[in-house]
Structure 1
């Protein structure tokens, strides 16, 4: 199947999560891979006419001992290195390094507008891709990742799995979309990006935005 990617994520974010501007002198370019594929043997529990039961997306759970975004669920990706031939190459390279996937089976569909991640001063390019020939994936380095897993998109769309995460920081309250799947909470940048992508594709189902959960922030090493 092909994803209808004519839609593009809006540059204007609706959450206050991105209110803080990046430090222009120290901003770091990064890229993440939104890799959609077809699950082999674990179809969705929830059924929705917008997507097939076997459509899935790849995630990594970051290791709890990392200094940046410890324990968070994310798309594979990372910093764009000087040797990378742009964000697409960086997103694919980082994904191979983190999950062991075979890059020859990945078909890049395009890129979304850059999104600022003010918490770590990254300017992130989301790269959309289709997993034409899925390959085995697993944690390559447990110092970097706790787990690698695939989640059915229909389960992400299930209104029962949607929440608003609430983060209190610096006397302010930040609310943003979150997903409860695979025994983990997908929140923050990853959930915001997913939520807007689903909105723009017309896949989002009505859900109760009054249901809130605390943002599950893990303390970086040395903060105890």
Structure 2
């Protein structure tokens, strides 16, 4: 905890390096935003130093939601006119969804926009350092069921890594951590971030499982 009048600890070197590499990372063609389409949105990739080493803040979206119901995700949402861009939107949404105090966060950089065709969103991932962590919780029960600080070591544990296969035949990276099954867009961003940060450990990429029926049912809502 940082006491009043003291300077908060700076972000670690690895996070600055991650921000630099992530900003230069080419966007896969399938995730390049189409011209003139898509709602501007932002998500906050908030890293901190927890009791088990570096961690990242994730939420589990409400199972009652209409889009991405029940899915683990980064805090975030649409960019509103008063947000002053993606960074302001990411911090505002994180505060609304988790009770996060934005004053405890230092933004280190942003990643290129990524397009999610299913929700027609152009998403800017914002990289932040939680220099003064505080209590977080499901501050918006209609939108969020749970909030977790997930240790990076847990996400990179080979036992917690797999690929999940959709009935369409498409498969993508997935993670297990703190009782969450992270897949879809969030897992794709995490997979990339962990690889370029140097935290990734070798894992069995041939380990493929079908999306669980209950997860599939929630995802089918829209």
What is residue 194 of structure 2 aligned with on the other side? 198
TM-score w.r.t. structure 2 length?
A: 0.85
Q: Report how many aligned residue pairs link the two structures.
A: 204
The verdict on how the C-alpha distance between 1:220 and 1:174 changes in structure 2, with shifts beyond 3 A counting, is: closer
Residues 46, 129 of structure 2: 8 Å contact kept: yes
Cα distance change on mapping 1:99 and 1:218 into 2, 3 Å: farther
Select 1:31's aligned residue among 42, 59, 72.
Answer: 42
Contact 2:32 2:114 in 1 (8 A): no
Name the counterpart of 1:207.
203
Give the equivalent residue in structure 1 for 2:177.
181
Contact 2:67–2:221 (8 Å) recurs in 1: no
Q: What SS does the aligned partner of 1:168 have?
A: coil
> Does residue 7 of structure 2 align to residue 11 of structure 1?
no
Evaluate the alpha carbon distance shift between residue 133 and residue 20 of structure 1 in structure 2; reply closer, same or farther with a 3 A threshold: closer
Closer, same or farther: CA 20–114 of 1 in aligned 2, 3 Å = closer
Q: Within 2, Cα distance between the matches of 1:152 and 1:32?
A: 19
1: distance between equivalents of 2:46 and 2:147?
Answer: 13
Could you tell me whether the CA contact under 8 Å between 2:69 and 2:221 is conserved in 1? no
What 5-or-longer segments of structure 1 have no aligned partner? 44-53
CA shift for structure 1 position 132: 0.4
For residues 87-166 of structure 1, the aligned pairs below 5 Å read 87-166=86-165
Task: Determine the C-alpha separation between the residues in 1 that align with 2:134 and 2:27.
Answer: 35
Q: 1:33 to 1:164 in 2, by over 3 A?
A: same
More helix by percentage: 2
Coordinate RMSD, CA, aligned: 2.0
CA deviations over 1:136-155 (Å, ceiling 9, x no partner): 10011211101011110011
Work out whether 1:79 is the aligned partner of 2:78.
Answer: yes
Residue 113 of structure 1 aligns to a residue whose secondary structure is coil
Label 1:106 to 1:21 Cα distance change in 2 as closer, same or farther (>3 A).
Answer: closer
TM superposition shift of 1:220: 6.3
SS in 1 for 2:139: coil
Runs of 5+ unmatched residues, structure 2: 1-10
